[in-house]
Chains A and B, each alone.
Chain A
Amino acid sequence: MAEDQGQRKQPSKKQKASNEALDQFIKPKQSYWPFALAASLTITLAGVISHPIVLWVGVALVVVSLAGWGLERH
């Protein structure tokens, strides 16, 4: 079995490139908006128990994150 694996052909350059292309094509697009929205919500809720300024900064960031998420090309 191990020998079989050892004798298995290495993928050619062309094959490798097509696998990488498949990776890129199929895998979901990366995005930092989920992280940004979660962070913004946390700041907003922290503002509830700390200071109104923190709260409003959080709200503004939530709005920006939602807009960014909505307008992102995917």
Chain B
Amino acid sequence: MATRTITEGVTIARRRRLSETYIGEWIMTTDHKKIGVMYIVTAFFFFLVGGVDALLIRTQLAVPNGKVLTPEVYNQIFTMHAVTMIFLFIMPMLTGLGNYVVPLMIGARDMAFPRLNAFGYWIILFGGLFLTSSFLFGAAPNAGWFAYAPLTELSGPGTTSCGNAVMCTPGPNMDFWALGILMLGISSISASINFVVTILKLRAPGMSINRMPLFTWMTLITAFLLLFAIPSVTMASILILLDRHLGTHFYQAGFGGDPLLWQHLFWSFGHPEVYILILPAFGIISEVLPVFARKPIFGYTFIAWSGVAIGFLSFTVWAHHMFAVGLPLVAQAFFATSTTLIAIPTAVKIFNWVGTVYGGKLSFKAPMLFALGFIAMFLIGGLNGAALAIVPFDYQVTDTYFVVSHLHYVLFGGSVFGIFAGIFYWFPKITGKLLNERLGQVQFWLMLIGVNVTFFPMHIMGLLGMPRRIYTYPGNLGWNELNLIATIGAFTLGIAFLVFLWNFVITLRSGKEAGTDPWNAFTLEWDTESPPKPYNFLEVPTVRSRRPFYDKKNPETADWKSVTH
């Protein structure tokens, strides 16, 4: 019940509006900061779900002839592990951080389309719950996150059922996948449109595109990638739904369809997707390193434009996932070359990050540790990725654990380390409290050890011929010890996440007050209260350099006095 005083002594009582209740306030919010927080909390929930999936997989594979899961459940678990981590953890987490931070960084009061922003969040939440609820029906997606056709068809050509060597997926498992991906695609498109318009139209006066923070740059590029990549997987999903339910045969060779059409459509989304998952992390690292090295970023222009180059090139490399299907030699040569080319702008970034750290007054706080860990781990992921661009080598290790190792060094060693760098860096702004530094360091070392113990042995497993996605293996192939080590590493990662959860809880309960600018940072988000007021800035700031908040704090040595950009 709410009360309202009309005149002194006269108070009327009325029923509270939905927007005045605690839950109603969150359901109806269009504030970019609240929506950002909801994205982040939701992403961590799904990280927990995907993490449990990972531990189940590793427990099943810890010893030969494992019997922890049935083969049917194992297929569902490994599929949902990937779907959850990619679409329901990394993507919403990076969108959440972008939602919270980008408007503050560019001096805007909110996103360009606040209600579309809220819609993007709700549809990803419902999409995630829809996908995960499939476990309740015993029908979770079970054909891998890439859902290759014709394995994902409802029935074989000329039959109404599977069996007799006809590969297909009866039951609603892959319907959950296709419909879930449609929903998540709608969310991504909504968020991308919002980011593009916000960044291009709502920047503070003086913030030219050449003065934008690098996290904002990378978010902008990612938004464009999503706008161009999502339609491909959306189309692929609609076609498979038509095949499954309306009798079309887009992917069935027996009826003139082409199973490779699926692979082309999926990977022309799937490879840009890898950069969608890593580019915002590049942006986070480019914000954290200068602050903790007490230097401006080295090679701003190169970092920004190498991101653009990566964005363009990411649309030219998709068929390196398909070398083993028997592509013509010209196509193999083209995709091997483009894949090797994309290593150049990536290496440019690594060079610039090292240049930023070099000669700086380094402070090894948790965000910096995660940023440095990111560089080291992503470098390994990049190098073994470059190896996979070599066609004859790819033939040898395709669909083996070598590939699993590569993608986890990129997505865990890269994206997840980048995410934690961002979480530790911006947590004080979001909550007004500093995460416990000691627990942060413990978590970092556990993660660094865990990621290498888990994923490094997988290189060797792959070279020894262990295929991906197998349910179990006999004990005489030389894989036993390596699998056991990987499982120990996975549980180390699980402990690291529990340390983070503990840190999160005790910080919210009794954490140290952060103040507005605990890191003595350079960009505009730190020129607000912690947490910021709903309107962000009382007065919209005017920007004269790439480090506007540094300029404000140090008027004598302001960047705009000595640097022209």
Task: Report A's interface with B, CB cutoff 8 A.
Answer: 19, 22-23, 26-35, 37-39, 41-42, 45-46, 48-49, 69, 74
Contact = CB atoms under 8 A, between A and B. Distances in A.
5 contacts: A19-B533, A22-B538, A26-B535, A34-B121, A39-B126
A71 to B, nearest CB: 13
Contact of B115 (A34, A39, A45): A34
A50 to B, nearest CB: 9
A28 B202 CA distance: 15
Interface in B194-220: none
B183 A33 contact: no
Interface in B115-172: 115-119, 121-123, 125-127, 130, 172
Given A34-B122, A42-B183, A27 B175 contact: no
Contacts of A19: 533
B115 A69 contact: yes
A53 to B, nearest CB: 17
Contacts, number: 79
B65 interface: no
Interface string B238-258: 000100010000000000000
Contact of B28 (A32, A41, A45, A74): A32
Nearest to B176: A49
A33 B534 contact: no
A32 B27 contact: yes
Contacts of A49: 172, 175-176, 179
Contact of B130 (A28, A29, A35, A46): A46
A74 B127 CA distance: 28
A11 B464 CA distance: 70
Given A34-B122, A41-B186, A28 B110 contact: yes
Nearest to B111: A28
Most chain B CB inside 10 Å of its own CB: which residue of A29, A32, A37: A32
A30 B533 contact: no
A23 B110 CA distance: 13
Contacts of B126: 38-39, 41-42
B338 interface: no
A18 B195 CA distance: 31
B154 to A, nearest CB: 11
B123 A41 contact: yes
A45 B357 CA distance: 49
A46 B116 CA distance: 22
Given A22-B538, A23-B534, A45-B182, 15 more contacts: A26-B534, A27-B31, A29-B30, A31-B115, A32-B27, A34-B115, A34-B117, A34-B121, A35-B118, A37-B122, A41-B186, A42-B127, A48-B175, A48-B241, A48-B245
